[in-house]
A and B are shown apart, each in its own frame.
Chain A
């Protein structure tokens, strides 16, 4: 159980990170990227291949993120001047090309055999008690900060969009408080499990701590950025790019920066993904991964970093719940007697069924709350 929850925490961190990159591109800048997984692939392969060659892991990640950003530059240069749908099409194509390169350039990537036995961070250490306590302390710090930020935000409702803007506030609502309590419970559970896992140190526990630290730093940095004048230009581009153009902003270059930075973040997520998998196959980077990020961003509310984090939590909570509950329901005799056709839902079909239900949930969400869980309802009524 502890192991599984640690796995969940790492997955949430990785997908939150990955989706935050997309949120910067789409949620804040309005760039439609249907090939986000390409950045992750580049980040993952670069990190593992370079670190296998003896390059320090940290440096390998930095190079991986830089190469992902470079891929963004490359895609952006050819499409960002064109109409926005070109970007959508080209990104789909590029992500497939990247995956096919990973599959077929066997000399470089070992193709379908996958890359194994690459160095993992914090893997071959046996921390003594003080070191483990420091780790637990760090985890406590992150958990505390997250909870504090969340509740302050629920209470004061600082929907502030500007730098010092205290405006556009609204009152705390019952639903936001319930959501806060649920999130707190989840957070506290993960915290205790995480602390326990760190105490009996294992590689995955270390990876969890590392991924959570990186996630916290990235969220903090992104929040600072999107509230800065730099972020204001991105939001302006999302709303109507002719306006920043008329006001002297180099729209193309800002789009490029958002695209590259989002790509670099996805590249870092790729490194963590590889470390979690410990063996990297091209099949880990299928188009579905991109759409998982889209689900997460849409679920939480586009243009909202906290929403993206929440989206990742819900996505994985759903995954975990259905993974265990669905087989139990299908096998239960009570359900069988009421609804015999459930037999048809065998193991293979269950996977597809779970994805289908996600689709259904998204449709319902779009009907009931199109702005996403943390999105602002008022924004829907605004004219163009």
Chain B
């Protein structure tokens, strides 16, 4: 308590928001992720690229503890999280999306969004009864916020439709909006542009930049190089489960090893 200011400066500045090191995961004989690391600095948009099957999605699963790593450390916001359950990690402010967008089909788009909000009074069984007024008021505020986010991802007109009736691209957008509803410090996006039409991709990119300016940090897996080049300040390359290179988009583009990994075989 006495060294409050000092603790703050030493904690915030030199440490990245997310740092993983020595992560390993094998499925049977396949080493999907093999001693991989990553660092994501606060306030940046960081890219993660690599050929198909490089282990990027598995890497996300390890970071969010959807799959328990065989080995390795993950530090988020100054705390080790590799032993935390997934929902705790989200509660700490790190939320992930899925490569194949997952939606709650038989709930409305709005309800999908509302589920994202954290610390809802009405999610506690007893408080539904004891604080009914507060629950209702919160719900109304959340709806307003959800509507704003839906507008920003272009789904406002679909708010009352079943989420299961959305197209693949729209599902990606819904998933992103839903993740945003958690008010995260860091969002992990797994191929946000896959299956989304080009004009919409531009819009999404603009949104991501806007959210980033508002203080949100992003880690993005993406195959679309235009997206990576225009958004990211730093790109990590994964190949066959381990780190191949890291640098600015320009550096990565001219890295012979990377070119070989992509085109080589």
Residues of A participating in the B interface, judged by any CB pair closer than 8 Å: 161-165, 167-168, 224-225, 228-230, 232-233, 235-236, 239-240, 242-251, 257, 261, 378-379, 382-384
What residue of chain A has the Cβ atom nearest to residue B140's Cβ?
A164
- Pick 8 A–B contacts, CB within 8 A, sort by A: A163-B139, A164-B139, A164-B140, A165-B160, A167-B160, A247-B178, A257-B125, A378-B162
Residues of B participating in the A interface, judged by any CB pair closer than 8 Å: 64, 66, 85-88, 90-91, 95-98, 102-108, 110-111, 114-116, 118, 120-125, 128, 135-136, 139-140, 143, 159-160, 162, 164-165, 178-179, 182
Separation in Å of the B233 CB from the closest CB of chain A?
Answer: 26
The reply to whether A250 and B108 contact each other, CB–CB distance below 8 Å, is: no
Among B95, B118, B160, the one with the most A-chain Cβ atoms within 10 Å of its Cβ is B160
The reply to whether A229 and B86 contact each other, CB–CB distance below 8 Å, is: no
The reply to whether A383 and B105 contact each other, CB–CB distance below 8 Å, is: yes
Per CB-CB distance, the 5 closest pairs between chain A and chain B, nearest first, are A382-B164, A229-B122, A167-B160, A248-B90, A239-B104
| Besides the known contacts A224-B128, A247-B116, A248-B91, 15 further A-B residue pairs in the complex with CB atoms under 8 A apart | A162-B108, A163-B139, A167-B110, A228-B122, A229-B122, A229-B123, A232-B111, A235-B107, A236-B104, A240-B104, A243-B102, A243-B103, A243-B115, A379-B162, A382-B106
Contact of A249 among B105, B123, B128, B178 (CB under 8 A): B123
Q: What B residues does A384 contact at CB under 8 A?
A: 105, 164
What residue of chain B has the Cβ atom nearest to residue A163's Cβ?
B139
A383 to B139, CA, bound (A): 28
Separation in Å of the A155 CB from the closest CB of chain B?
Answer: 20
What residue of chain B has the Cβ atom nearest to residue A254's Cβ?
B123
Contact of A168 among B105, B115, B160 (CB under 8 A): B160
Q: What B residues does A251 contact at CB under 8 A?
A: 87
Known: A230-B124, A243-B115, A248-B91. A165 touches B165 (CB 8 A): no
Contact of A382 among B120, B140, B165 (CB under 8 A): B165
The reply to whether A232 and B107 contact each other, CB–CB distance below 8 Å, is: yes
A125 to B114, CA, bound (A): 51
Q: What B residues does A164 contact at CB under 8 A?
A: 136, 139-140, 143
The reply to whether A248 and B87 contact each other, CB–CB distance below 8 Å, is: yes
Separation in Å of the A66 CB from the closest CB of chain B?
Answer: 15
Known: A233-B115, A382-B106. A246 touches B123 (CB 8 A): no
Separation in Å of the A30 CB from the closest CB of chain B?
Answer: 11
Q: What A residues does B98 contact at CB under 8 A?
A: 242, 246
Separation in Å of the B124 CB from the closest CB of chain A?
Answer: 7
Known: A164-B139, A382-B165, A384-B164. A249 touches B87 (CB 8 A): yes
Known: A232-B115, A247-B182. A239 touches B105 (CB 8 A): yes
A161 to B178, CA, bound (A): 18
Q: What A residues does B136 contact at CB under 8 A?
A: 163-164
Q: What A residues does B178 contact at CB under 8 A?
A: 247
Q: What A residues does B164 contact at CB under 8 A?
A: 379, 382-384
A162 to B139, CA, bound (A): 10
The reply to whether B123 and A162 contact each other, CB–CB distance below 8 Å, is: no
Among A225, A230, A235, the one with the most B-chain Cβ atoms within 10 Å of its Cβ is A230
The reply to whether A239 and B107 contact each other, CB–CB distance below 8 Å, is: yes
The reply to whether B86 and A230 contact each other, CB–CB distance below 8 Å, is: no
The reply to whether B107 and A236 contact each other, CB–CB distance below 8 Å, is: yes
Contact of B86 among A228, A246, A379 (CB under 8 A): A246
Q: What B residues does A383 contact at CB under 8 A?
A: 105, 164
The reply to whether B128 and A168 contact each other, CB–CB distance below 8 Å, is: no
A245 to B124, CA, bound (A): 16
Separation in Å of the A217 CB from the closest CB of chain B?
Answer: 13
Contact of A162 among B95, B103, B111, B125 (CB under 8 A): B111
A235 to B123, CA, bound (A): 12
The reply to whether A230 and B123 contact each other, CB–CB distance below 8 Å, is: yes
A156 to B139, CA, bound (A): 23
Q: What A residues does B120 contact at CB under 8 A?
A: 229
The reply to whether B165 and A245 contact each other, CB–CB distance below 8 Å, is: no
The reply to whether B182 and A228 contact each other, CB–CB distance below 8 Å, is: no
The reply to whether A247 and B115 contact each other, CB–CB distance below 8 Å, is: yes
Q: What B residues does A236 contact at CB under 8 A?
A: 104, 107, 115
A224 to B139, CA, bound (A): 14
Separation in Å of the A286 CB from the closest CB of chain B?
Answer: 32
What residue of chain B has the Cβ atom nearest to residue A249's Cβ?
B87
Q: What A residues does B125 contact at CB under 8 A?
A: 225, 230, 257, 261
The reply to whether A240 and B128 contact each other, CB–CB distance below 8 Å, is: no
A229 to B125, CA, bound (A): 9
A142 to B120, CA, bound (A): 33
Known: A163-B139, A167-B108, A378-B162. A228 touches B128 (CB 8 A): yes
